[in-house]
């Protein structure tokens, strides 16, 4: 199922949209003083993109979500999920088309990530199929760890893991892709999101 992703910097708008639409909300640490392209991301399924406009100060995208690894931990609705999620925006490599970059990300990089990120307990690729507003983005990687310490200490197992991942990313991603944003996830509906409304059918 396709989702709509709203990316921005307005925390109140992001939380409100997530609650109203039964979405999933990702918020950066308010104490993170780095210069970031965005600090909020909302995922939901809706046929009313305008309901996400206030939360999409950076951009709005239609995405297809690929769950590569799913954590085995309960997350209560409306309460921050366990762990932290690093969001990596992806721009395709200048030598690749969007389709080529996305295929490599899915078919080659995903298996490498599973092998060489020992602390990664949850991993979803949000592959952008259409940019509704904002700068062109090819995808968002949602890479989750049990804790901030786990992300710092077990992002890679050793230098070989780091070298393999860095070399592979350099083949399909633009080095000028926006920097990662470390967030807390809160689920207001389900993950992955599903529509709150059902329609009559025969």
Cα–Cα distance measured from residue 89 to residue 76, given in angstroms and rounded to the nearest whole number:
27
Q: Is 196 or 186 the better-scoring residue by pLDDT?
A: 186
Cα–Cα distance measured from residue 29 to residue 118, given in angstroms and rounded to the nearest whole number:
24
Instruction: Please report, for the chain, the start and end positions of each structural domain, with discontinuous segments joined by +.
Output: 2-187
Give buried/exposed letters for 156-171 (b at 16+ CB in 10 A, else e).
beeeebeeebeebbee
pTM tops 0.85, yes or no: yes
pLDDT category, 201, cuts 50, 70, 90?
A: low
Mean pLDDT calculated for residue range 100-121? 97
What residues form DSSP beta bridges with 186? 25, 80
List the one residue out of 98, 172, 110, 171 whose CA is nearest residue 141.
110
pLDDT, residue 73, reads: 84
List the one residue out of 24, 53, 28 whose CA is nearest residue 38.
28
Cα–Cα distance measured from residue 28 to residue 118, given in angstroms and rounded to the nearest whole number:
23
pLDDT category, 202, cuts 50, 70, 90?
A: low
pLDDT, residue 197, reads: 75
**200 dihedral zone (left: phi>0; alpha: psi -120 to 50; beta):** beta
SS3 26: strand
> Is 3.90.190.20 the CATH number for 2-187?
no
SS3 93: coil
């Amino acid at each position: 199922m396709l989702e709509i992703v709203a990316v921005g910097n307005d925390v109140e708008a992001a939380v409100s949209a997530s609650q109203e639409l039964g979405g999933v909300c990702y918020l950066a640490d308010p104490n993170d003083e780095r210069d970031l392209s965005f600090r909020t991301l909302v995922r939901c399924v809706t046929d009313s993109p305008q309901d996400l406009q206030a939360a999409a100060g950076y951009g709005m995208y239609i995405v297809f979500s690929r769950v590569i690894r799913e954590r085995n931990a309960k997350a209560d609705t409306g309460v921050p999920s366990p762990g932290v999620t690093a969001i990596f925006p992806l721009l395709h490599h200048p030598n690749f088309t969007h389709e080529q970059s996305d295929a490599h990300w899915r078919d080659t990089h995903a298996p490498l990530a599973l092998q060489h990120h020992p602390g990664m307990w949850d991993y979803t690729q949000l592959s952008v199929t259409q940019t509704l507003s904002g700068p062109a983005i090819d995808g968002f990687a949602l890479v989750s760890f049990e804790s901030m310490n786990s992300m710092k200490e077990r992002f890679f197992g050793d230098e070989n893991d780091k070298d393999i991942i860095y070399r592979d990313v350099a083949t399909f991603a633009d080095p000028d892709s926006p920097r990662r944003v470390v967030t807390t996830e809160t689920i207001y509906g389900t993950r992955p999101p599903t529509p709150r409304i059902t329609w009559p059918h025969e």
